[in-house]
Amino acid sequence: MTAESPGIILHHFDQSPFGEKIRVIFGFKNIAWQSVRVSRILPRPDLMPLTGGYRRTPVMQIGADIFCDTQVMIRELEARYPKPTLVPAGQAGIPYALAMWSDRVFFQNTVNLVFGTNADKIPQEFIEDRTQLRGARFDIAAMKAAIPQMMDQFRAHVDWIEAQLGDGRKWLLGDPSLADVNAYMNIWYLRTNLADADKTLDRFPRTMVWENRIREIGHGRRTEISSADALAIAAKVMPQTTVQADPYDPDGRKPGDQVIVTPDDYGRVAVAGEIVSLSAQHIAIHRQEERTGDIVVHFPRAGFLVSNQR
């Protein structure tokens, strides 16, 4: 293996709202990237060796470093491509923290509205896959029955966006930021999946103008490669993550410890490995994979559980 550092690869499917979040950031920063299209449902046989079993998408790959969850992807992209910034001066925390709203409460509301509205079009294999992903029944009938309540909730979320834009500003925090990308994800998801999205959004004219402004950013410079190509790239290089300790880790964890990392909400697949680097916001663990050799898998701390291997 060599120490060569390849470019950015995104494993994603085009209908993914979380994938759209990263694609917009590629556009905002004018990044050249390689696209590996994965299926919306399992199996994903060429992706699992990279992630150690983590099954949510998108996944970002830079050589043999694998980034799971958009939180760590965004931090890595901001570090590698600091200009233009996604975190304007004086806004270092809030844009990231807003993801707990956009990715959880707002997203779940939007998912229920989209799938409830399209209940009669959802394939059974998709329902079965999402039941496994959630660890609970993906109840399309219940989502359909809850459409009035979900519409109420969706309107409340969008009304916050509209109010924030109420003084005529173009962006939620004044300057373009991650806050815009986070909030836009759910508007994009609704628009992509509901034919009458304008009817839902027409009471929010500022939001619709803002939405169009973000859409016009585009997706950067995209080229397609195969999943086999991505695996081959990982096998040819070594991970570039440097050892980093966290003297303030509340559990005293340190590089070299064997741990298991698991999402705390859904897709609760445990990924095991040896800590390479950790901080308040991230943990990176080393794994050995038969098809790729050395891999370092990166996770955020917020929204993930870290436990010791038994």
CATH number for position 129: 1.20.1050.10
Check whether residue 107 and residue 179 sit in a common domain: yes
- pLDDT of amino acid 4: 41
pLDDT digits (tens, 9 = 90+) for 75-130: 999 999 999 999 998 888 999 999 999 999 999 999 999 999 999 999 999 999 99
CATH assignment at residue 26? 3.40.30.110
Does residue 3 belong to any structural domain of this protein? no
Run of H or E including 156: helix 147-164
Residue 51: closest CA among 231, 226, 278, 222: 231
Residues 6+ apart with CB under 8 A from 196: none
The CA–CA distances, whole Å, from 62 to 77, 233, 259 equal 11, 9, 23
Q: Which of these three, 215, 246, 278, is where a domain ends?
A: 215
Check whether residue 202 and residue 115 sit in a common domain: yes
Q: Could you give the number of structural domains in the chain?
A: 2
Q: In this structure, what token pair is assigned to residue 69?
A: 């969850």
- pLDDT of amino acid 2: 36
Does residue 2 belong to any structural domain of this protein? no
pLDDT digits (tens, 9 = 90+) for 187-241: 999 999 999 999 999 999 999 999 999 999 999 999 999 999 999 999 999 999 9
- Strand segments, DSSP code E, in the chain are 8-12, 32-37, 59-62, 65-68, 221-224, 258-263, 271-278, 282-289, 293-300, 304-308
The CA–CA distances, whole Å, from 106 to 11, 66, 161 equal 24, 27, 12
Does residue 177 belong to any structural domain of this protein? yes
Check whether residue 121 and residue 200 sit in a common domain: yes
Model confidence at 1: pLDDT above 60: no
Q: Kindly state the percentage of the chain with pLDDT values over 70.
A: 98
The CA–CA distances, whole Å, from 77 to 8, 58, 168, 279, 303 equal 9, 14, 29, 17, 20
CA dist 33 and 219 (Å) reads: 9
Q: Which of these three, 215, 248, 278, is where a domain ends?
A: 215
Longest dimension (CA), the chain: 57
Does residue 67 belong to any structural domain of this protein? yes
Mean pLDDT of the chain: 95
Domain enclosing residue 70, as ranges: 8-84+221-308
Check whether residue 131 and residue 72 sit in a common domain: no
pLDDT digits (tens, 9 = 90+) for 10-57: 999 999 999 999 999 999 999 999 999 999 999 999 999 999 999 999
Q: Kindly state the percentage of the chain with pLDDT values over 90.
A: 93
- Global pTM reads 0.95
Does residue 188 belong to any structural domain of this protein? yes
- pLDDT of amino acid 83: 96
Check whether residue 122 and residue 230 sit in a common domain: no
Q: In this structure, what token pair is assigned to residue 261?
A: 């990392």
Residues 6+ apart with CB under 8 A from 41: 125, 126, 129, 130
To the nearest 10°, report the CA torsion of 61, 67, 69, 74.
Answer: -90
